[in-house]
């Protein structure tokens, strides 16, 4: 085997090391706590699905047509790494037929073959909730507010909530006709990319960030003029509900999302301090036809996915939700033979404390240096004298105070010093 060549993580992916890795995990814990206190239960689905599950998300969706990691197994199955979580959760809903409303939350990695840049990766994590089985606008309020409360819990203050009503599927053709007519009348003024998009999915043209399209997009018809009375009334109820909770939002009539399944309430959370093209820290909405698309009975649903990586960038931007200091409670310094450290660490850990140690019989000085670097407030030191007396020295690394305690009292004295 050829030696010497080294490797890097694949393009668009990142290794997360301490403390960024623990920070991302804490973020998921904050979300889990909030979701579970709101009645959502954890659901874990596979990271890959039958390719067809995702193809049902829509042929006009880049996420599906251009960005999916697809592969064939040795057994000939056509599978894809999940580009998002909603399709898998809806597939699981149809498969297990749980009682409704079904409130599911999950966290996990998604894969999209995108052009990597800051805040845009080929493997990225999302936290997600889905509330399936009710069209009650109060459910929309609950879901949107849950996202808002999550950002609040992290300490973020500069998040903007954009809200739109995309109407029902039956409302869509009339609006798409109006959009086509609007853009077709001004084709020359439209960027080449948007002309192509117009043929496939006129709605997505509204999402064009190209400066040459800006005027035409700003003058485009808005969906609010084309939605059914029922959808419009539900949207009013959602807004009233959010106001009652003091969740601020801006109705954004040209807000469209990158996935095709959305109906009625649709929303996005933008990190105000992030660059315009990567400012969406999360988004979601209703998908009242998706359960049927995936082979289930007609069932409404709503949910969101929040990007963990981008949310942490927004936290950096605002200087909130710092990485937790990776610290054990005690560092055990053993200058006898190392076996005392093994036994003491085991005892401390079994009693619920955090303990670490050095290896390879290093000098006292080297081990004390490691103790300092570990961030532990206390050190337990065993040298030949302590070994002979059946004692240990307990040193407070914050004050440099040191005392000798009986070997059998070590846990208790550590606890006292920590409290």
Residues making contact with ligand HAM (CB under 6 A): 84-86, 112, 114, 119-121, 124, 126, 128, 130, 257-259, 280-285, 303-305, 307, 309-310
Is 119 or 202 the residue whose CB approaches ligand HAM more closely?
119
- Which residue in 10, 259, 241, 273 sits closest to 128, CA to CA? 259
Is 270 or 382 the residue whose CB approaches ligand HAM more closely?
270
Spatial separation of the C-alpha atoms in residues 187 and 78, rounded to whole Å: 39
Is 257 or 340 the residue whose CB approaches ligand HAM more closely?
257
- Minimal distance, residue 311 CB to ligand HAM, in Å: 7
Is 114 or 152 the residue whose CB approaches ligand HAM more closely?
114
- Minimal distance, residue 388 CB to ligand HAM, in Å: 59
Is 110 or 374 the residue whose CB approaches ligand HAM more closely?
110
Distances (CA, A) of 260 to 75, 141, 300, 342, 353: 31, 22, 15, 57, 50
* 268 beta partners: 162, 283
Distances (CA, A) of 241 to 100, 171, 265: 22, 24, 13
Is 27 or 280 the residue whose CB approaches ligand HAM more closely?
280
Pairing of strands 330-334, 378-382: parallel
Distances (CA, A) of 259 to 97, 106, 308: 24, 19, 19
- Minimal distance, residue 320 CB to ligand HAM, in Å: 17
Is 281 or 315 the residue whose CB approaches ligand HAM more closely?
281
- Minimal distance, residue 317 CB to ligand HAM, in Å: 14
Is 299 or 367 the residue whose CB approaches ligand HAM more closely?
299
Is 86 or 194 the residue whose CB approaches ligand HAM more closely?
86
Which residues of 154-278 form beta strands (DSSP E)?
A: 159-165, 250-251, 263-271
Is 134 or 413 the residue whose CB approaches ligand HAM more closely?
134
- Minimal distance, residue 154 CB to ligand HAM, in Å: 14
- Minimal distance, residue 33 CB to ligand HAM, in Å: 19
Residue with tokens 């999402």: 207
CA 255 distance to own-chain centroid: 21
* Count of helix runs (H) and strand runs (E) in the chain: 16, 16
Total number of residues shown for the chain: 419
- Minimal distance, residue 27 CB to ligand HAM, in Å: 12
- Cβ neighbourhood burial of 199 (10 Å; 0-12, 13-18, 19+): exposed
Distances (CA, A) of 336 to 213, 359, 383: 74, 12, 6
Distances (CA, A) of 354 to 28, 288, 335, 397, 412: 22, 49, 20, 15, 14
- Minimal distance, residue 60 CB to ligand HAM, in Å: 14
Spatial separation of the C-alpha atoms in residues 255 and 283, rounded to whole Å: 11
- Minimal distance, residue 89 CB to ligand HAM, in Å: 8
Peptide bond into 14 cis (omega under 30): no
| Residue showing the smallest CB distance to ligand HAM in the complex | 307
- Minimal distance, residue 215 CB to ligand HAM, in Å: 26
């Amino acid at each position: 085997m050829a030696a010497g060549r080294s490797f890097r993580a694949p393009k668009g992916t990142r290794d997360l090391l301490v403390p960024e890795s623990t920070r991302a995990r804490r973020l998921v814990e904050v979300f889990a706590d909030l979701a579970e206190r709101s009645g959502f239960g954890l659901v874990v689905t596979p990271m890959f699905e039958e390719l067809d599950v995702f193809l049902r998300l829509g042929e006009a969706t880049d996420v599906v047509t251009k960005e999916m990691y697809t592969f064939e197994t040795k057994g000939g199955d056509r599978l894809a790494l999940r580009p998002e979580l909603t399709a898998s959760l809806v597939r699981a809903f149809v498969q297990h037929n749980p009682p409704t409303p079904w409130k599911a939350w999950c966290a996990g990695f998604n894969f999209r073959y995108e052009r990597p840049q800051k805040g845009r990766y080929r493997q990225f994590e999302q936290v997600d909730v889905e509330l399936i089985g009710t069209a009650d606008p109060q459910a929309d309020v609950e879901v949107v507010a849950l996202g808002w409360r999550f950002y609040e819990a992290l300490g973020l203050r500069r998040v903007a909530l954009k809200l739109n009503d995309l109407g029902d599927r039956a409302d869509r053709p009339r609006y798409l006709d109006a959009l086509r007519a609007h853009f077709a009348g001004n084709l020359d003024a439209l960027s080449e990319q948007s002309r192509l998009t117009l043929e496939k999915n006129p709605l997505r043209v509204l999402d064009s960030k190209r400066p040459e399209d800006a005027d035409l997009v700003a003058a485009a018809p808005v969906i609010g003029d084309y939605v059914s009375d029922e959808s419009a009334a539900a949207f009013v109820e959602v807004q009233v509900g959010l106001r009652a909770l003091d969740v601020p939002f801006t109705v954004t009539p040209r807000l469209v999302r990158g996935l095709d399944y959305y109906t009625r309430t649709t929303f996005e959370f933008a990190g105000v301090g992030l660059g315009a093209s990567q400012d969406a820290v999360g988004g979601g909405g209703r998908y009242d036809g998706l359960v049927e698309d995936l082979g289930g009975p007609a069932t409404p649903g709503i949910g969101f996915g929040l990007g963990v990586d981008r949310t942490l960038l927004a936290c950096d931007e605002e200087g909130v939700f710092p990485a937790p200091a990776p610290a054990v409670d005690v560092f055990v310094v053993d200058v006898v033979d190392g076996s005392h450290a093994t036994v003491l660490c085991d005892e401390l850990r079994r009693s619920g404390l955090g303990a670490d140690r050095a290896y390879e019989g290093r000098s006292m000085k080297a081990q004390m240096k490691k103790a300092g670097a570990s961030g532990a407030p206390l050190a337990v030191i065993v040298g030949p004298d302590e070994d002979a007396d059946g004692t240990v020295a307990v040193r407070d690394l914050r004050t440099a105070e040191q005392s000798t305690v009986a070997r059998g009292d070590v846990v208790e004295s550590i606890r006292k010093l920590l409290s």
